[in-house]
Amino acid sequence: MRISSFFYTIRQGLKSIFRNKWFSLASIATIGACLFLFGIFYAILINFDNIVKTAEKGVSVTVFFDEGISDDRIQEIGNLISMRTEVSRIDYISADEAWESFKVDYLGEYSDGFLENPLEDSASYEIYLSDVAMQGTLVTYLESVEGIREVNRSEITANTLSGMNTLIGYVSIGIIGILLAVSIFLISNTVTIGISIRKEEIQIMKYIGATDFFVRAPFVIEGIIIGLFGSLIPLGIIYIIYNNIVEYVVGRFQILTSLIQFIPVETIFQTLVPVSLAMGVGIGFVGSFITVKRHLRV
């Protein structure tokens, strides 16, 4: 392809957007609406996922040891537990630490009556999981370890969080599926309109002896540019909306801030920007490619 033809093609692609401005606007709006919904749901889901993940980090299993167990054996058990893949962190709480904590939490000034540590045999390991769904496996293992007297766990919390995780997974798939179906419907409608606008133009080009590539190239460039705008606009809107909502919620409902840690928009955009751009450009490319292809056989 000559350089002049290359620039001509680019110019025609750009001009075509302005020539068919209503069609271009409709296409940008369609792609933009789909990607806006996608972005919003992505931001909601990723925040929700973050809440669950944060809650998961707090879920722990506590193990207590047999009476009179040696420090060496406790150390050994600690090493065994640390090696498990489902374990993310393990904290040792000595009997004295446990008593101190109990006094602060429950007894306050009434603790003076105790001369000895009543929790002498209450040294423990607090084990944090990398995946809360693996709690059952870990507990079964811990119960089989020699020297462990008791395993305390929070089954309800673990099950709820694990269930939440599965639910988020299904909801994500469901929402993305619905959005895709809506997008395909809207975009195929826009493409159909595009076909009726372009049919005659493509036919004329083919009668004069234009190659498929020459006919297609400006349309494809037009589609890519439309796709680019169709993804940049919703990204801009999401950026503004997200920051405003976070600011509003944090300012208005301060109680929530201890429960919810909003993910910064920059972190969300690290994934959302490339995915949205790729989807926008991809939709524009495929849409225009198909539109033209249907009429190339002249």
- Would you count residue 209 as binding other proteins (CB under 8 A)? yes
Answer yes or no whether residue 208 interacts with other proteins by CB under 8 A: yes
Q: Give the pairing type, strands 60-65 and 87-93.
A: unpaired
Least separation, in Å, of the C-beta of 17 and other proteins? 12
Q: Which of 226, 189, 219 is nearest to 202 (CA)?
A: 219
Pick from 41, 214, 239, 269: which binds other proteins (CB under 8 A)?
Answer: 214
Shortest distance in whole angstroms from residue 216 CB to other proteins: 12
Is residue 298 close enough to count as binding other proteins by CB under 8 A? Answer: yes
Which residues does 89 contact at the CB level (< 8 Å), separation at least 6? 127, 128
Nearest residue to 241 (alpha-carbon basis) of 29, 51, 44: 44
The sign of the CA dihedral 14, 18, 23, 24 is: positive
Identity of the residue, 113 or 209, whose beta carbon is nearer to other proteins in the bound complex = 209
Q: Is 4 in the site for other proteins (CB under 8 A)?
A: yes
C-beta of residue 216 within 8 angstroms of C-beta of residue 295: no
**What whole-number distance in Å separates Cα of residue 43 and Cα of residue 265?**
9
Q: Does 155 bind other proteins (CB under 8 A)?
A: no
Q: What is the three-class DSSP state of 39? A: helix
Positions in 185-204 near other proteins (CB under 8 A):
200-201, 203-204
Interatomic CA distance for residues 20 and 226, integer angstroms? 12
Question: In 3-state terms, what secondary structure has residue 2?
Answer: coil
Q: Can you tell me the distance from the alpha carbon of 176 to that of 170, in angstroms, rounded to the nearest whole number?
A: 10
Binding mask 19-58 for other proteins (x = CB under 8 A): x---------------------------------------
Can you tell me which of 98, 205, 225, 283 binds other proteins, judged by CB under 8 A? 205
Report, in Å, the least distance between residue 202 CB and other proteins.
11
Interaction between residue 293 and other proteins (CB under 8 A): no
Our CB check for other proteins shows the closer of 57 and 206 to be 206
- Which C-beta is closer to other proteins: that of 1 or that of 167? 1
Measured between alpha carbons, how far apart are the two ends of the chain, in Å?
A: 23
Nearer to other proteins, 14 or 210 (CB): 210
**In the complex, which residues of this chain contact other proteins (CB under 8 A)?**
1-2, 4-5, 8, 19, 200-201, 203-212, 214, 298
